[in-house]
Amino acid sequence: MSIQFPIYSDEYWLHYALQLAERAYQQGEVPVGAVLVRDNQILGEGWNQSISQHDATAHAEIMALRAAGLAAGNYRLPHTSLYVTLEPCVMCAGALLHARVERVVFGAYDLKTGAAGSVFDVLLDIRHNHQVQLTGGVLQADCITQLQAFFKERRLAQKLDKLNSTTTSSPTSTEN
Ligand SMILES: [Zn+2]
């Protein structure tokens, strides 16, 4: 990877997560990537695969937690930091608490479903017996750009699909 950020900085790991998100993008999935780090080493990584896996829980954070749990031989993952390109949803925030992840750093805020403060405040709710350190908005512009590019492309594809289906199946259309 290109070294444009200080090694092991938040930006460095977010940049890494962006590359994971790119894999989701290439697979037609909403581009979200996540990497779980302990002592500056990758313990697990993942990207959104809900569509291809037919699995509503296959978000990037969950995939990273699963991989890290296997690598560590433990579902508790203390002293770890999770870097993810989009603010976690309620499900992922809950999983991060169960795993005892120490710190969460995310890129883009999700103003519709974000559970790290934007809509819900799951990660910092003092009623849980574990709270995380939270940093949002790291490499935010890059993360937003990637998501917007994906949705723009998808909308365009849907428009083209619609256009094609109306021109090929319209009963009033004159063939030849
Ligand atoms: Zn999620």
**pLDDT tens per residue across span 32-58:** 999 999 999 999 999 999 999 999 999
Q: What's the burial of 128, exposed, middle or buried (CB within 10 Å: 0-12/13-18/19+)?
A: middle
What confidence score (pLDDT) does residue 169 get? 54
Amino acid at 61: E
pTM more than 0.75: yes
Q: Is the dihedral of CA 3, 5, 9, 12 positive or negative?
A: negative
Residue position matching structure tokens 């995380």: 132
Active site residue 102: no
- CA 15 to chain centroid, in Å, comes to 13
Q: What is the CA(174)–ligand 1 centre distance, in A? A: 47
Q: What is the CA(73)–ligand 1 centre distance, in A? A: 23
Comparing C-alpha atoms, which of 65, 15, 5 is closest to residue 36?
65
Q: Helical H runs in 27-134?
A: 50-53, 60-72, 90-98
Q: What is the CA(94)–ligand 1 centre distance, in A? A: 9
What confidence score (pLDDT) does residue 175 get? 45
What confidence score (pLDDT) does residue 57 get? 98
Low-confidence residues of the chain: pLDDT under 70: 1-3, 168-176
What confidence score (pLDDT) does residue 174 get? 45
Inter-residue contact 149 to 121 (CB < 8 Å): no
| Catalytically annotated residue among 61, 87, 102, 175 | 61
